[in-house]
Amino acid sequence: MVVTSATPRATLTVDPAFRVGAVDPRVFGSFAEHMGRCIYTGIYEPDHPSADDRGYRRDVLELVRELGPTVVRYPGGNFVSGYRWEDGIGPLTERPRRLDLAWRAIEPNEFGVDEFMAWCALARAEPMMAVNLGTRGVAEAAELLEYCNHPEGTRLSDLRRTHGAKEPYDVRLWCLGNELDGPWQIGHKTAYEYGRIAAETARAMRRVDPRVELVACGSSNPTMPTFASWEATVLEECYDVVDHVSLHTYVDPSHRSVGDYLASAEVLGRAIDAVVATADHVGARLKTRKRLGVSVDEWNVWYQSRFGGEHTLDWTERRHLIEDVYDVTDAVVVGSLLITLLRHADRVNIACQAQLVNVIAPILTEPGGRAWRQTIFHPFAQAAATAGGVVLRVEPEVATYEAEPVGEVPLLHATAVHDDATSSLTLLAVNRRTEGPLELDVDLRAFPGHRVAEATVLTHDELRTCNTADRPSEVVPRALRQVELTEGRLHAVLPPVSWTVVRITPSPTSPEIR
């Protein structure tokens, strides 16, 4: 990549003394909803050639393990607000077919709680369950928790044992409903109505199992007219009985310039700041030292304006629904969203990319056929694999540009994660510049005797390039050639519109590891 005197330069300093917070591994979560083909012909397809004896697609499972989600949220999403969890347990032949009002689909109930728990164990992911506070309430939530977590000796815990799970599932993470601020939600509520039912459900659930971690529904999008006031009213009612408040954020690339789109993570960052400020305001009013975490339990790129809405759907099973195909820029934006989540490591302790398979997902499948990695698979997999440890505060000095709707944003978006145990450092960086490369100059004098162990970049000359079943590896991370670390300074050249990961480790000759 040709660098000239006109090439902008970003400088930053990384020092282990300046800590934002430890990365909670649960920020690398995902989401599996009964929607479209996420479950059926996604993770579960008994007739598929790769299916195991429980009907799980082995090809998908392998890709999920490679992707590395630490938690998977289930069963919705909007779906959960009309869901009867009891329909999805017991002998398959006795399970009812039902109307799913959220997505106007037929739900066969072949896959339910027990199938999900067994699949999570195979996927090496922690389950995160949502309860239905749309059409159901306190009793059904407490009963589902009893089914999952009570050891034995009651009707529901013994029923679980009859269904093959002798040991409790011990599910810790529970969402108290889904997006109940949205008029599209079955059982939509006012903030006060929701705050009350969330509080009473939380109290009952804590009686069943005091070890649960509970997430109250925040806003379904920072653009909601009730954003922030919803959180304030809800938390006034349930602050003391919940642990986290949720935030959902989807970014839509349609009808925007590439530069504006590349600044999308700024929208997420400001929304997280606003939710934290609102929660802390309520905490201050309640005169409590308790601080809530933020669970960004739905986030992603979603070409939402291409979706006609639920009303355009008819009663179908396994419908191809919002199966967005992602290009290079989408992958770079996903990388940038991950950087924002990490930069908020002091308060964001759970995050779920929505969704896992087929539905706005990093993995696509053909019914009965192939499964492959979308472009957005790679930044997630790389971050989940390398960004463990403590996030260090980095503030790049670099030129900015004007983007809608956020205003001035820096050309470089970056974070650094330090693993104290191995003294290794991971730099994650996005070059938002569309016109050309960006020089990166990092002061690493706080890491003497370190070397570049690996440096990769995801980009492409043609930003519209996607991965397909026939060409699944068009867009993958490749070695970053222009990178060197000498005398405590890292110098790299980042191609336009790119996602870069640099791993820096103590060199074998370093006194630290001799």
Q: Which residues bind ligand AHR (CB under 6 A)?
A: 33, 35, 76-78, 178-179, 220, 298, 354-355
Nearest approach, Cβ of residue 69 and ligand AHR (Å): 15
| Residue placing its CB nearer to ligand AHR in the complex, 178 or 467 | 178
Residue matched to tokens 């100059």: 441
| 367, amino acid identity | P
Phi first, then psi: what are they for 230, rounded to 5°? -55, -50
| Residue placing its CB nearer to ligand AHR in the complex, 146 or 298 | 298
| Residue placing its CB nearer to ligand AHR in the complex, 229 or 304 | 304
What residue spans of 179-319 are helical by DSSP H?
Answer: 191-208, 229-238, 258-262, 264-285
Nearest approach, Cβ of residue 504 and ligand AHR (Å): 36
Nearest approach, Cβ of residue 309 and ligand AHR (Å): 11
| Residue placing its CB nearer to ligand AHR in the complex, 114 or 298 | 298
Q: Which of 179, 231, 266, 439 is catalytic?
A: 179
List Cα–Cα distances, 457 to 188, 344, 462, 467, 483, in angstroms: 44, 23, 15, 16, 11
| Residue placing its CB nearer to ligand AHR in the complex, 143 or 181 | 181
Residues belonging to the chain: 514
For residue 102, give the 3-state DSSP assignment. Answer: coil
Spatial separation of the C-alpha atoms in residues 82 and 187, rounded to whole Å: 8
State which residue has the least CB distance to ligand AHR.
77
Nearest approach, Cβ of residue 33 and ligand AHR (Å): 5
- Tell me the angle at which helices 138-149 and 155-162 cross, rounded to the nearest 10 degrees: 50
Nearest approach, Cβ of residue 411 and ligand AHR (Å): 31
Residue matched to tokens 């990549």: 1
The β-bridge relationship of strands 71-74 and 29-31 is: parallel
| Residue placing its CB nearer to ligand AHR in the complex, 147 or 302 | 302
Q: Residue 303: CB partners within 8 Å, gap ≥ 6?
A: 252, 253, 254, 322, 324
For the chain, state the CA radius of gyration.
Answer: 23
For residue 512, give the 3-state DSSP assignment. Answer: helix
Q: List the structure tokens of 17.
A: 């003394």
Residue 419: count of CB within 10 angstroms of its CB:
16
Q: Burial, 295: exposed, middle or buried (Cβ in 10 Å; 0-12, 13-18, 19+)? A: buried
395 is catalytic: no
| Residue placing its CB nearer to ligand AHR in the complex, 10 or 333 | 333
- Tell me the angle at which helices 328-343 and 264-285 cross, rounded to the nearest 10 degrees: 30
Question: Strands, E, within 102-260: which ranges?
Answer: 105-107, 126-131, 173-176, 213-216, 244-251
Nearest approach, Cβ of residue 12 and ligand AHR (Å): 34
Nearest approach, Cβ of residue 421 and ligand AHR (Å): 36
Q: Which of 146, 266, 298, 439 is catalytic?
A: 298
179 is catalytic: yes
Nearest approach, Cβ of residue 189 and ligand AHR (Å): 15
| Residue placing its CB nearer to ligand AHR in the complex, 29 or 77 | 77
DSSP letter for each residue of 245-266: EEEEEEE--TTS-HHHHHTHHH
Spatial separation of the C-alpha atoms in residues 195 and 220, rounded to whole Å: 15
Phi first, then psi: what are they for 155, rounded to 5°? -55, -45
Active site residues: 179, 298
